[in-house]
Amino acid sequence: MTLSKFDYYGPKTVAEAVGLLGEIGEGAKVMAGGTDVLVRIRHRMLKPRAVVGLKRIEGLNGISCGPKRGLSVGATALLADVAAHRGIRRLYPGIAEAALGTANVQVRNMATLAGNLCNASPAADNAPTLLALNAELTIQGPGGERKRPLEGFFKGPGVTDLAPEEVVTAIFVPPPAERSGTAYLHLSARGKHDCTAVGVGVMLAMAGRKCRDARIFISACGPTPLRAPQAEQMLIGQVPTDKRMAEAGVRASGEALPICDIRASADYRCRVLGVLTRRALQAARDRAAKKG
């Protein structure tokens, strides 16, 4: 199947990219890695007038990570680089797990973290853990630069808070809290060959033996990544025993909005979500304990 015809632009600066989007108007599409955009074009799901690629913009593929300055990932940084980055693996293991669990090695060596978010798939692997860690986006448009929390960025399947002339330039994650741990787990029908059927990203922060903060986000069980606030409240202020985490997993599955589709039934998603949430919470708790 051949691609439909479109104009391609390779700007060398973010300002030039923003200007092109305004000049082209309706029908312009931003492309980072191309693993989502080109597939959708090929299958006639997307018919852009023009594609504005970001790969030629110098410095947009950088990754900066430290315990005090936090994590910054440029818009064209590859998922493979995120998964392999030593600082991310040490300070933000849940982010590295999500990047490594996305698709297969060929896709990870083309796809970008920013592209995975901007595609706004409800099943996106990288959204839940970033949401659990209070990530924010740096966005540039005609009016200049703005910061936007990732939570609330997703408006529906394939729909985000981005204006037509705006470009995400970086993802920022605050420094990890003291005695905190993260984890991401997911499941699909054929491993990495299929889109995620159920996924969960969590963050736990401890104070002594008790949990002082918890954030749980679910993927592939609603029109956008979903938060599980009731499950979180079951943990905050409590000793996170295996039993309590299992109960929180059951509560999280009750907060999801799964559907039946070719990947899984709604009932299966709910059952698996409870198990994955429990396991992810246990992993996050154990990582927080090692920091302590």
Evaluate if pTM is beyond 0.75: yes
β partners of residue 7:
50
- pLDDT of res. 43: 87
* Residues in the chain where the model's pLDDT stays below 70: 1, 190-194, 292
Separation between Cα atoms, residue 253 and residue 276, nearest integer Å: 10
- pLDDT of res. 33: 95
| Count of positions (residues) in the chain | 292
Cβ neighbour number for residue 62 with a 10 Å cutoff: 14
The domains located in the chain, with CATH, are 7-53 (3.30.43.10), 63-173 (3.30.465.10), 180-291 (3.30.390.50)
- pLDDT of res. 4: 82
Q: Which amino acid is at 222?
A: G
- pLDDT of res. 192: 55
